[in-house]
A = this chain, B = another copy of it.
Amino acid sequence: MYLCLMYSKELVKGTLKTIVLKLLAENGRMYGYEITRHVRQLTDGELELTEGALYPTLHKLEKDGLLVTEKESIGKRVRKYYSLTPSGSEASADKVREFQEFVQMMQLILNPKKINPAKSIV
């Protein structure tokens, strides 16, 4: 599992890119460690991104042209800030929309309507 989650490990897959892109859309620019803290805070500790998952994802998004980086020195340490490119902004909105559509689709299965039982002929 590429994220740590209290209750369900399987469900969260495939959402890391969405999370990262959305956070950057909200916050302008962030560095990796900051993203992990932010997610922890937002979800009240329920979701903990692991670094082994986050950094490869950030690198991939950068390679795909959705993010750009700038380094900043904090004392002797170097922080790598990520921010969205124009196509990254598009991708962020797309990903969030996709997620919401996916959830609606799942609700069709998980909360089936009992209305119009004539249609339930298999």
Contact among B13, B15, B34, B44 for A106, CB-based, below 8 A? B15
Report how many copies the assembly holds.
2
Q: Give A97's nearest chain B residue, CB to CB.
A: B7
Asked if A105 and B34 make an inter-chain contact with CB atoms under 8 angstroms apart, the answer reads: no
Chain B min CB distance to A37 (Å): 6
Q: How large is the interface on A (under 10, 10 to 19, 20 to 34, 35 or more residues)?
A: 35 or more
The segment out of A18-26, A61-69, A74-82, A83-91 that lies at the interface is A18-26
With an 8 A cutoff between CB atoms, is A14 at the interface?
yes
| Contact of B22 with A110 in the complex, beta carbons under 8 Å | yes
**Is A115 engaged at the interface, CB distance under 8 Å to the other chain?**
no
Report 26 cross-chain contacts, Cβ distance below 8 Å, ordered by A residue. A7-B101, A8-B99, A8-B101, A10-B14, A10-B15, A10-B17, A11-B14, A11-B15, A11-B18, A12-B14, A13-B13, A14-B14, A15-B106, A19-B109, A22-B110, A34-B122, A37-B122, A38-B122, A41-B122, A42-B109, A43-B105, A43-B108, A44-B108, A46-B105, A47-B105, A99-B106
